[in-house]
Structure 1
Amino acid sequence: DIDVRELPNEEVDIVLGGFPCQTFSYSGKRGGLSDPRGQLYLQMIRIIEHYRPKMFVAENVDGIRNSKKDNKGNAVDVSALDTILKAFDVAGYNVQYRVLNAADYGVPQSRRRVIILGIRKDLGDQEDVFYPKALFDQTGLETKQKWLSAKEGIDDLWGKINDPTVLNHTQRDYSKAKFYPGKKMQGNNRISADRPAPTIRAEHHGNIEAHYRTTLKDENNMDGWRRLSVRETARLQSFPDDFNFACSASSAYKMIGNAVPPVMSWHVARSVFYTLNKLGITSK
């Protein structure tokens, strides 16, 4: 547990939190609030209650809306998200959430995440809080900009393995795990070139998907497939090319998969700034 007495005594405007999502993820065991990781939002609340920031931002997977187990593992009628929102409300914040897709903000990846925004009750209400407007959409008909495809995100990196000008893109920076012909299993497939990549997960080895390109004429011959490199997964998450992951490939894959896409984060941060600015609330 966090000992708030050991925290720095200073004014904080915004608290950001991404409490563990694995227990709520559709690809996980779905332990929900009964998993110790599922209760770490309580630690975030302790920090919020200590600092009393103007606003907070919390992020989790879309599956949190449908996880319906209490802290003892019993099935209940209230979702984990509703329980968490109520706890933030009791802590003194007006809260709301939206499900945002990273692809709507120029990230070449389909990644749906619940973004919770809370504003201190003495400063504003739910209707005072703004979320970022989508800048891209699947067809381009609504925003005039179509979702970016995986090809637009990473195609220029093909053939550049071991290029010294490209970070985290060497022979050591991609999984060599074997592919299994005829089997349908996680990671045993290639991403598509003409649409956003699927959600980049905090995985490694055999669970990393293959590049849409292949070195052989026969597209179905797995001998020509290569799994996405660390740099390619970072690109699909919108990390800048000069961001170096100074660790093993396995650790880098996990960090990248656990991250909120930086470009999407920027848009959320701008919406928080806009909210406070519209209310005439400025930081010191």
Structure 2
Amino acid sequence: MNKLDNSPKIISLFSGCGGLDLGFHQEGYETVWANDFDHWACETFKKNIGDVIVEGDIEQIDPYDNNSIPDCDIVLGGFPCQDFSMIWKRPGLDGERGNLYKSFLRVVDAKKPKVFVAENVKGLLTANNKKAIKQIVSDFENIVPGYKVKVKLYNFADYGVPQLRERLLIVGIRSDIDFDFEHPNPTHSAKDDELLPHVTAGQALANIPSDAKNTEQQKLSPKTVEKLKLISAGGNFTDIPKDHPLYVKGMISHVYRRIHPDEPSKTIIAAGGGGTWGYHYPEPRSLNNRERARLQSFPDDFEFVGTMTQVRKQIGNAVPPQGVRELAKTLKKIFE
């Protein structure tokens, strides 16, 4: 990425392979410092976003030391959702993994960016009888000089991503900034004729170049191939008749899930055993990582580093860059 002297400067936390950063880079921002503890995600970030990522534990970095983290205009990051199964049982956010959330809070407190954007799972809205999200909003509002915080559940398919993926975006504007922020309206819809139609999985997977990276194909057993032949477009294991010898019982919905070419795909996941890789239609095979990357809206020149399983994890954990471009555009006005 080319450095732009007048571009808003990003500090990126829990960066992963850089999907959130990429969406903002595509709108003219620049990441000047990033952090993640996953080695292969850091290697991918370096290769595609820039050699500004520090591999290691964020809890071991003091954000109040100006020699450790530079100043910035905006802090981005998706703090791990595992925190919220723990911290709300203890006063003061002292849960076992609560420090990861508090690390994000500390960086915002130390750097006082004009804006922060935190991404998380839909379940955060209802975690601990809705106390979790209320506490988070309160914590950011109470950082001196305070932040005006607005929370919205996005379905990224409504913003041009060929995937039905719901994620929470928490946006804070520093209280001394005169800017009336509203989350951007959807650009795409399955029903509203005034908006663009959803991008389908079939459109997303078309015309992948023969020399594209990360196209290694998983080898499936003949038995799995035969199972897939019994499953319709957009279907899953429940399409297999109960009296069929290949019937499988009691699995979760994304097992043997095949894409529907005329709809956005279901959510791409990061890990899982047999039957969870996501499957092509009409070809009876698993999706390869370049196809997963396309469904996550990564461009073909974004090359992932690591084994097939490590790359799958990076893609499944990423924020789809296209999904946050409208937000990046909206926030850009603050810096102009």
1:130 aligns with 2:182: yes
1:167 aligns with 2:213: yes
**What is the CA–CA distance in structure 1 between the aligned matches of 2:279 and 2:98, rounded to whole Å?**
31
Q: 1:90 deviation in Å?
A: 1.3
**What is the CA–CA distance in structure 1 between the aligned matches of 2:98 and 2:154, rounded to whole Å?**
21
130, 139, 145: which is aligned to 1:87?
139
Q: 1:7 deviation in Å?
A: 4.6
283, 290, 298: which is aligned to 1:231?
290
**What is the CA–CA distance in structure 2 between the aligned matches of 1:175 and 1:59, rounded to whole Å?**
34
* TM-score w.r.t. length of structure 1: 0.77
Residue in structure 1 matched with residue 203 of structure 2 by the alignment: 152
- Unmatched runs of 5 consecutive residues or more in structure 1: 25-29, 69-76, 215-224
Residue in structure 2 matched with residue 267 of structure 1 by the alignment: 326
Structure 1 residues 84-139: Cα deviation after superposition (integer angstroms, max 9, x where no partner): 111111112110111111111111001111111101112247xx113222111012
SS of 1:269's equivalent in the other structure is helix
Residue in structure 2 matched with residue 60 of structure 1 by the alignment: 120
- Flag the 1:47–1:23 CA change in 2: closer, same or farther, 3 A: closer
Residue in structure 2 matched with residue 196 of structure 1 by the alignment: 264
- Flag the 1:140–1:212 CA change in 2: closer, same or farther, 3 A: farther
Structure 2 letter corresponding to 1:263: Q
**What is the CA–CA distance in structure 1 between the aligned matches of 2:317 and 2:104, rounded to whole Å?**
17
**What is the CA–CA distance in structure 2 between the aligned matches of 1:149 and 1:263, rounded to whole Å?**
14
- Flag the 1:23–1:213 CA change in 2: closer, same or farther, 3 A: farther
Residue in structure 2 matched with residue 139 of structure 1 by the alignment: 191
* TM-score w.r.t. length of structure 2: 0.66
> Which shifted more, 35-44 or 59-68?
35-44
Residue in structure 1 matched with residue 282 of structure 2 by the alignment: 213
Q: 1:241 deviation in Å?
A: 0.3
CA contact (8 A) 1:235 1:241 kept: yes
**What is the CA–CA distance in structure 1 between the aligned matches of 2:81 and 2:202, rounded to whole Å?**
28
Q: 1:41 deviation in Å?
A: 1.9
CA contact (8 A) 2:268 2:278 kept: no
Identity over aligned pairs, percent: 36
**What is the CA–CA distance in structure 2 between the aligned matches of 1:45 and 1:154, rounded to whole Å?**
39
Calculate the aligned-residue CA RMSD, in Å. Answer: 2.4
**What is the CA–CA distance in structure 2 between the aligned matches of 1:232 and 1:31, rounded to whole Å?**
35
SS of 1:156's equivalent in the other structure is coil
**What is the CA–CA distance in structure 2 between the aligned matches of 1:50 and 1:31, rounded to whole Å?**
25
CA contact (8 A) 1:238 1:263 kept: yes
SS of 2:172's equivalent in the other structure is strand
Structure 1 letter corresponding to 2:277: I
**What is the CA–CA distance in structure 2 between the aligned matches of 1:191 and 1:38, rounded to whole Å?**
37
Residue in structure 2 matched with residue 217 of structure 1 by the alignment: none
Q: How many equivalent residue pairs?
A: 244
Q: 1:32 deviation in Å?
A: 6.9
Structure 1 residues 153-202: Cα deviation after superposition (integer angstroms, max 9, x where no partner): 11334xx8xx4x1211123xx36477463224443231222210011111
- Flag the 1:130–1:241 CA change in 2: closer, same or farther, 3 A: same
Q: 1:272 deviation in Å?
A: 1.1
SS of 2:188's equivalent in the other structure is coil
- Flag the 1:32–1:136 CA change in 2: closer, same or farther, 3 A: farther
**What is the CA–CA distance in structure 2 between the aligned matches of 1:7 and 1:155, rounded to whole Å?**
47
Q: 1:12 deviation in Å?
A: 1.3
- Unmatched runs of 5 consecutive residues or more in structure 2: 1-58, 90-94, 228-245
Q: 1:78 deviation in Å?
A: 3.6
Q: 1:31 deviation in Å?
A: 5.4
162, 167, 170: which is aligned to 1:113?
167
1:182 aligns with 2:247: yes
Q: 1:261 deviation in Å?
A: 0.5
SS of 2:197's equivalent in the other structure is coil
**What is the CA–CA distance in structure 2 between the aligned matches of 1:3 and 1:111, rounded to whole Å?**
34
39, 42, 56: which is aligned to 2:102?
42
15, 30, 53: which is aligned to 2:75?
15
